[in-house]
Amino acid sequence: MPGDATTIRTFIAIDISETVRQSICRATAGLRVVADQEVKWVAPQNLHLTLKFLGETPASKLDTIQQAMTVCAGRYGAFEVLPNGLGAFPTRGRLRVIWVGLQAPESLGALATDLERALEPLGFPAEGRPFSPHLTIGRVRENASKTELAALGMALNARRSEELTAFEVKAVTLYRSDLRPSGPIYTRLFSAPLTVYNHSEKNQTI
């Protein structure tokens, strides 16, 4: 098959450490027990902070994507993010996604915006909505009943104030996502470090 016809499912994300993953699992253990049947929980090793979901990506564009990531990441120094509190999307109506909220400096949102702008000319449309930093920890099953959803909402409200271990953001990573019946498998393809360029390099644009 020609290279241009080959596509893989990809996304750009920020890794979180094993310490933070375990911190989140401990803090949400009670919620996972309460909603074991109603929610498909994200495996601890798959927890990450998504910056940009690319979807089906031509293999021929991977090099250009990596170049864009390198330039964007190079505009920023490392910064710290604090997971803090639990919530769900949407805020009204049927719950669909359970998440951990994040406290982060403006650098995080600016980095996500830079990536959006750099990747749009490559055929990856902008989201069209403000970046909302969060860690998805579970997705509510479609067959969950109203009674089960009400119990899940009450359990979630009781644990909204959970405070978790902070983590440092040092790089952005391009992942391949392979969907399997047992759950997705994420493979790290490329990482671009957050290392501010010198003055002449910092003025580069994509």
- Which CATH number characterizes residue 179's domain? 3.90.1140.10
Q: Which of 125, 108, 136, 122 is nearest to 51 (CA)?
A: 108
Q: Which of 193, 51, 71 is nearest to 112 (CA)?
A: 51
137-189 tens-digit pLDDT: 999 988 888 888 888 888 887 776 666 888 999 999 999 999 998 889 999 99
Can you give the pLDDT at residue 92?
Answer: 65
206 is a domain residue: no
**Per-residue pLDDT for 4 more than 70?**
no
- The residue with tokens 């250009």 is 64
Mean pLDDT to the nearest integer, 188-197:
88
Can you give the pLDDT at residue 203?
Answer: 41
**Per-residue pLDDT for 2 more than 50?**
no
Mean pLDDT to the nearest integer, 6-33:
90
Distant-in-sequence, close-in-space partners of 7: CB < 8 Å, separation ≥ 6: 56, 57, 58, 59
Residues designated as active site: 48, 134
Can you give the pLDDT at residue 200?
Answer: 37
Can you give the pLDDT at residue 55?
Answer: 96
Please say whether the beta carbons of 174 and 134 come within 8 A: no
Can you give the pLDDT at residue 32?
Answer: 83
2 is a domain residue: no
200 is a domain residue: no
1 is a domain residue: no
203 is a domain residue: no
Can you give the pLDDT at residue 112?
Answer: 96
Structural domain range at position 130: 8-195
**Per-residue pLDDT for 201 more than 50?**
no
51 is a domain residue: yes
Amino acid at 159: R
Cα separation, 193 vs 173, whole angstroms: 9
204 is a domain residue: no
Can you give the pLDDT at residue 179?
Answer: 92
55-111 tens-digit pLDDT: 999 999 999 999 999 999 999 999 999 988 888 888 666 789 999 999 999 999 999
Can you give the pLDDT at residue 160?
Answer: 66
187 is a domain residue: yes
Q: What's the number of domains the chain is made of?
A: 1
